[in-house]
Amino acid sequence: MELFNENSKLASVIHKDHSLLPVINRLGIKLGFGDQTIRNICEEKDIDINFFVEIINVFHYEAYFPEKRLLDFSVSMVIEYLIKTHQYYVNYLIPENDRLIELFLLANPEESNENELVRKFYANFKEEFVIHISYEEREMFPYVLELNEAIKNPSFREQFRQKHPGFSISGFEKEHSNMDDKLDDLKNIIIKYLPPNYDQNRGNAFLNNLFMFEKDMKNHSRIEDHILIPKVKQLEKVLLNHE
Amino acid sequence: MNNGQTKSIVLICKSDVILTGLTEVLKGSLADEIIQLHRGDEIIDYPEMTGNILVIATTEEIEKSGGFIRQILSDTGTIQFLNIYLEANSPHPNSSVNIFDSPALICYKVNEILNSFAVIQPRDTDTELTKREIEVLKLLTKGYSNKEIADQLFVSTHTVISHRKNISEKTGIKSASGMTMYAILKKIIDVSEIDTADLI
Ligand SMILES: [Fe+2]
Ligand SMILES: [Fe+2]
């Protein structure tokens, strides 16, 4: 295994794994980056080089997850990345999924019963997913950022404690396994159990998007469960020791 | 993906320093649990281990106690061995690790094995549902709980849970609403039989 590093040319990274395109967008990079290395681009755009390199490696190599090193990044940086990922889902991936599933189902109007079922199942998954991420943005992330602020800034501590008396991230933690299961089920239903008279190309297009979604979502959940949450627990301990 | 099977690592080495260091490094791996032993035969203290197990030890240790370890852990899932070399520059095959390798590389190699467990595991030879599983599936789609299904079929809740697990393994469908969809598409039940509004 050869990890990407700051001297890698970004263009060759993308040639090697184009599923990284939305990831580098999120990190603040747009197409048309010429032959620049990761270091050049990050310096130019004022992006944290280490964070950039670790994020793309963790995304590309599923087995690579240097927990210790990842725990060194600031919570605000991690949260900013997570929120950008949410925006990508809400503004692009989900609408794209909506469009592709409709194209797929509409091509086969005879199977109205089956179509209705798939539609409903997908709609339910989507609803659960949107509720999940908006909850994180409304409740969990602000709590984490306030906790972080309370540690950096002693004058803010009293206010923080009043707002969150028994402060603990465990009250905010939400499972990811239900959503993972549903997405997996949806894929299996289309791959294994749908009647064969559907339009294959449109089915493939929809499935491609689902696979992309799944890969991205798993990576995202992993960062939340194994980086964000442990980091917050560390911070909570620090604050407790200040009491 | 991992069919609910846990993944454990058993580290065997006489040196506490190496054990501690490797454990630190492997905390970044996909293992759910890491056990440290000085000698292979100490596995006798862990007869209740379940799931898939990766044993990391020197070649000599594996030769010496590999058989014994398999015997003690015979009730578990897959057991795999990974050789570890303790000297710098010692020639070692790609399928092994050396304590002088970078932590990221060690973690990567270990994760590759842990990931492969999920692939070896599924029994996809037999995907037909049994009569009993179909009965359970029908009741599930009607929204009954495990307990209610158990009462109706005169079996224990534990049995119902194990049927459910088998249904998931055979069909690849895990959620309750996914199972309902499956049952309808496979014509095991009819759409009119269920209240789609709250189930799907
Ligand atoms: Fe999230
Ligand atoms: Fe989440």
* pLDDT, tens only, B173-197: 999 889 999 999 898 988 777 765 5
Q: Count residue pairs from A and B with Cβ separation < 8 A.
A: 85
Check whether A221 has a pLDDT greater than 60.
Answer: yes
Preferred mutation among A70, A193, A222 to probe B, highest tally of B CBs within 10 A: A193
**Amino acid B198: pLDDT:** 54
Q: Is the ipTM of this complex over 0.85?
A: no
Q: Which residue has the higher pLDDT, A22 or B32?
A: A22
Q: Is the pLDDT of residue A219 over 80?
A: yes
Question: Coil, helix or strand for A215?
Answer: helix
Determine the average pLDDT of the residues in B26-45. Answer: 88
- Domain ranges, ordered by start, for chain A: 10-64, 71-241
A43-47, A154-158, A166-170, A178-182: lowest mean pLDDT where?
Answer: A166-170
Taking 50 as the threshold, does the pLDDT of residue B2 lie above it? no
Alpha-carbon gap, residue A234 to A74, rounded angstroms: 12
Range B108-115 average pLDDT: 88
Is B185–A117 a contact, with Cβ atoms under 8 angstroms apart? yes
Give the lowest-confidence range in A64-78, A115-129, A199-213, B9-23. Answer: A64-78
pLDDT (0 to 100) of residue B199: 55
Whether residue A63 and residue B107 make contact (CB cut-off 8 A), yes or no, is yes
pLDDT of residue A112: 80
Q: Read off the tokens for A159.
A: 């206010």
Query: For residue range B42-72, what is the model confidence (pLDDT) as tens digits?
Result: 888 887 888 889 999 998 889 888 888 888 8
Residues 6 or more apart whose Cβ sits within 8 Å of residue B57: B10, B11, B12, B13, B40, B65, B81, B82, B83, B84
Task: Tell me which of A48-62, A221-235, B39-53 is least confident.
Answer: B39-53
Residue B87 pLDDT class (50, 70, 90 cuts): confident
Mean pLDDT of chain B: 85
Whether B108 and A61 lie within 8 Å, measured CB to CB: yes
Q: Give the number of the ligand closest to the Cα of residue A85.
A: 1
What's the gap in Å between the CA of B120 and the closest CA on chain A?
A: 17
- Window from A183-192, A212-221, B114-123 with minimum mean pLDDT: B114-123
Name which of A61, A114, A185 is nearest B178 (Cβ-Cβ): A185
Does B119 have pLDDT greater than 80?
no
Rounded CA separation B38/B196 (Å): 58
> pLDDT tens, A163-197?
988 888 888 888 898 899 999 999 999 999 988 88
| Chain A interface includes B196 (CB < 8 A) | yes
**With pLDDT > 90 as the criterion, what percentage of chain A qualifies?**
74
Ligand 1 centroid, distance to A112 Cα (angstroms): 34
For each of the domains in chain B, give its residue range(s) and CATH number, in order of start: 7-123 (3.40.50.2300), 131-199 (1.10.10.10)
Please check the confidence at residue A2 and state whether its pLDDT lies above 60: yes
Residue B120 reports pLDDT greater than 90: no
For residue B83, what are the β-bridge partners? B57
**Residue to test with chain A: of B173, B188, B190, B194, most A Cβ within 10 A:** B173
Work out the percent of chain B whose per-residue pLDDT is above 70. Answer: 90
